[in-house]
Structure 1
Amino acid sequence: MSRWNELTGATSGEEYAARFAALARGGEDVHGEARFCAALVPAGARVLDAGCGTGRVMIRLAELGYDCVGVDLDASMLAVAREQAPHLPWFHADLAAFEPARLGVAGDFDLVVAAGNIFPLLAPGTEATVVGRLSAALRPGGLLVAGFGLDRAHLPVPPGITLPEYDDHCAAAGLTLVDRFATWDAAPYDGGGYAVSVHRR
């Protein structure tokens, strides 16, 4: 079982969406991840939102003209995403077993984004498998972007993966580190408790 399901019981979709809706109403910028991705690949590019949750990032990218596919294991989160954007392709699937062809989706994505602490919340021991699956879904030259917490201050659970471990998984999957930032606003990474990593296939 994923650490996310242990934490939430896979029933927190409405609550999660309400929290971000409240932030948006209060004037908070809730589109940093989408803006970051849009700076990496041009409009029209194919984007896989791996662990798409309620669809906040993917819906914004679709509005900006990207060809998006969303995948998540939490049915409660996907229910919110489908209600908000029924015209977009949302799939219920485990990233550790993700194969685009089995879902009737073409591979060769230009960018795969894993926002929202996806890697620390996976089922323990599946991190390398998930990196491999996501790498395989990329076209040659495509980018994997992952942002996640590295300490308890930035995570709802104890840390489950270090940056060196993540980089090792990426290297084993044929990915090369391009850049690393401390935030989705592209602040330079300073060794802190959150990192946004960009790897290229």
Structure 2
Amino acid sequence: MQAPPPGPRRARARRAVSEPLPPTRWALGGAKNVGYGERFAELIEQGEDVFGEARLADAMLARGSRVLDAGAGMGRVGAYLLDHGHRVVAAEPDPALVAQARRTWPGLEVLPLEILALSPDALATAGAPDAYDLVVCVGNVLTFLAEDTEVAVLERLGSLLAPGGRILAGFHLQRGPASARTYPPDEFVADATAAGLRVDHRFGGYDLRPVDDLYAVWVLSRA
């Protein structure tokens, strides 16, 4: 029996993988994003705690695990996990944030690539693993993706999981950054399902507080 054709959203997502990558909402945000990296640098200089996501990620891992920090920003999460004994590869397409991450944490391996560009060939060329025990995709990365690429991005992240691997994701449901989209939980779950993933857990924050309407933290694995 012939399988039914994919729905419009899934078809658009698949085309996005083979065609030139469309601009992300982050890239289109332009001046609206100015100050993000500087603000985190200031917080770190002041001794503020900016590692809540990383502590949860570390608690999910055995020592020496392979971690992909997808959409690493200025590198704070990946650097923390590196310091705690994991093999970390960070991927970040924004040149300014790549430069900041490399300057701030010289030991952190940062690939200047978007998530959809993390092909097996690209990872092999960089000498990076092609499978990971944990993929971290936090800090509103999923709300800054290019339009209609959400399923394709989730498929790519799922394809990079080692057996038993998981994805840790998080984003604002309300009051998010100005250039980000709103990503309703039911739509995210539908996209994750279409990408061959299942939702193992949902929380209201990286401290594992109960679900709320402001922020969502997700733990995903292959269906």
Verify same fold: TM over 0.5: yes
Residue 154 of structure 1 aligns to a residue in which SS? coil
Aligned equivalents of 1:140 and 1:109: distance in 2?
9
The one-letter code matched in structure 1 to 2:58 is: A
Q: How many residues matched?
A: 197
Aligned equivalents of 2:167 and 2:205: distance in 1?
16
Percent identical residues: 38
1:141 to 160, 164, 169: 164
2:96 to 46, 58, 76: 76
Which segments of 5 or more consecutive residues in structure 2 lack a partner in the other structure? 1-22
2:178 paired residue number: 156
Measured at CA, do residues 9 and 136 of structure 1 come closer, stay the same or move farther in structure 2, by a change above 3 Å?
farther
1:42 to 46, 56, 62: 62
The root-mean-square deviation of aligned C-alpha atoms, in Å, is 1.9
Instruction: State the shift of 1:82 in Å.
Output: 1.1
1:115 paired residue number: 138
1:199 paired residue number: 220
Which segments of 5 or more consecutive residues in structure 1 lack a partner in the other structure? none
Residue 159 of structure 1 aligns to a residue in which SS? coil
Aligned equivalents of 2:50 and 2:33: distance in 1?
22
| Alignment partner of 1:167 is 2:193 | no
Measured at CA, do residues 26 and 90 of structure 1 come closer, stay the same or move farther in structure 2, by a change above 3 Å?
closer
Asked if the contact 1:150–1:159 (Cα under 8 Å) also holds between the matched residues in 2, the reply is: no
TM-score (norm 1): 0.90
2:86 paired residue number: 66
Measured at CA, do residues 6 and 51 of structure 1 come closer, stay the same or move farther in structure 2, by a change above 3 Å?
same
2:202 to 177, 180, 183: 180
Measured at CA, do residues 170 and 11 of structure 1 come closer, stay the same or move farther in structure 2, by a change above 3 Å?
closer
Instruction: State the shift of 1:38 in Å.
Output: 0.8
The one-letter code matched in structure 2 to 1:5 is: A
Cα deviation 1:17-75 (Å, max 9, x = unaligned) = 33113223444311101001011112211000000011011001100111100111111
